[in-house]
Amino acid sequence: MAEKLKEYSVAVTRTAEDDLDDIISYIANDNVPIALKILDKLQKAINSLKQFPERGRRVPELLDKNIKEYRELIEAPWRIIYKIENNDVNIITVIDGRRNVQDILTKKLIK
């Protein structure tokens, strides 16, 4: 009999919700169907963390500052930054990897 996989609870912070709203609104200004496809892609990636949250890599820009508790999933060009705490996965932010990620993370995570 197959062993049941551990399932984590996934919560999206207000900041990450705002990030997603900004991303989708910006794309929807040019192409609503594409914006909806991207939203679906990002939501599927976020939901996939329910079973395999540790598969995301540690955030390199934060490792440079010896901050190891944040991980990321990359859905190019976006980076979904999250933190695992016990059985919870908290989505902290969703950022465009083409931007200055170091500055964005410093403003959002290192307050």
ω into residue 77 within 30 of 0, thus cis? Answer: yes
Summarize pLDDT for 38-66 with one digit per residue, the tens: 999 999 999 999 999 999 999 998 888 89
Q: What is the CB neighbour count within 10 angstroms for residue 1? A: 3
Instruction: Say what the pLDDT of residue 97 is.
Output: 85
Instruction: Confirm whether 2 is domain-assigned.
Output: no
Summarize pLDDT for 82-109 with one digit per residue, the tens: 999 999 999 999 998 887 777 777 777 6
Sign of CA dihedral 51, 55, 56, 58: positive
Instruction: Confirm whether 28 is domain-assigned.
Output: yes
Instruction: Say what the pLDDT of residue 100 is.
Output: 73
Strands 57-58 and 9-12: unpaired
Which CATH number is 39's domain given?
Answer: 3.30.2310.20
Range of the domain at 80: 9-109
85 vs 19: CA distance, rounded Å: 22
Instruction: Confirm whether 4 is domain-assigned.
Output: no
Q: Structurally, how many domains does the chain consist of?
A: 1
For 49, the token pair is 């963390």
Is this prediction's pTM over 0.85? yes
